[in-house]
Amino acid sequence: MSEPYVLVLYYSRHGATREMARHIAQGVERAGLEARLRTVPAVSADCEATAPDIPERGDLYASLDDLAGCAGLVLGSPTRFGNMAAAMKYFLDGTTALWLNGALIDKPAAVFTSTGSLHGGQESTLLTMMLPLLHHGMVMVGLPYSEPALSATRTGGTPYGASHWAGSDSSQQVSDDELRLCQALGERVARWALKAR
């Protein structure tokens, strides 16, 4: 059997959510588990368009086996009109086989997002990203207020998951508080994944 890992699965168009994923992976590894970073291909209005099996750069695309085999999941997407991006929803809509055989039941999961504006839907995105994971029987993990950054932050960071305010031109770096909360979220999912084994 392969070593346990936490799947950090994200979609990112401009890189902000990808940067958060890196910090979350550090938290996972700090808790003693491998972090497997995977992304999903963009979807296109042109039904003829297909992405190559292997992306030209960056993390590999996730397979259903990556998801089925994980000990825990941290799922990230940019906010699009207050919700997750279509690319991530499309990937999740293809996971019926895993739902049918209960592959994700009782595994810990958490969510993260990046937005252009501070009040542009971080919390609605995080809460709605939880819904398919709850249908899969996953156990949601959030961020407790024992994390000092949750009260101190002047940018992103919520009890529902990690978040980042990238700014309307995506120029804002992940702040120190956002970074601490990304790492704490990864660490928490990894700790629960180890307990659940």
Ligand X SMILES: Cc1cc2nc3c(=O)[nH]c(=O)nc-3n(C[C@H](O)[C@H](O)[C@H](O)COP(=O)(O)O)c2cc1C
Binding site for ligand X (CB under 6 A): 12-18, 78-82, 114-117, 120-121, 166, 170
Toward ligand X, which CB reaches closer, 19 or 187? 19
| Among 63, 70, 53, CA closest to 110 | 70
Q: How far is the CB of 61 from ligand X (least distance, A)?
A: 16
Q: Which residue is nearest to ligand X (CB)?
A: 120
Toward ligand X, which CB reaches closer, 18 or 180? 18
Q: How far apart are CA 180 and CA 76, in angstroms?
A: 16
Maximum distance among all alpha carbons in the chain?
49
Q: How far apart are CA 36 and CA 62, in angstroms?
A: 9
First-last CA distance in the chain: 13
Q: What are the structure tokens assigned to 84, written together?
A: 């997750």
Q: How far is the CB of 197 from ligand X (least distance, A)?
A: 31
Toward ligand X, which CB reaches closer, 83 or 95? 83
Q: How far is the CB of 159 from ligand X (least distance, A)?
A: 19
Q: How far is the CB of 66 from ligand X (least distance, A)?
A: 20
Toward ligand X, which CB reaches closer, 115 or 153? 115
Q: What are the structure tokens assigned to 89, written together?
A: 């929803």
Q: How far is the CB of 114 from ligand X (least distance, A)?
A: 4
Toward ligand X, which CB reaches closer, 5 or 10? 10
| C-alpha distances out from residue 184 to 69, 167, 188, Å | 23, 23, 6
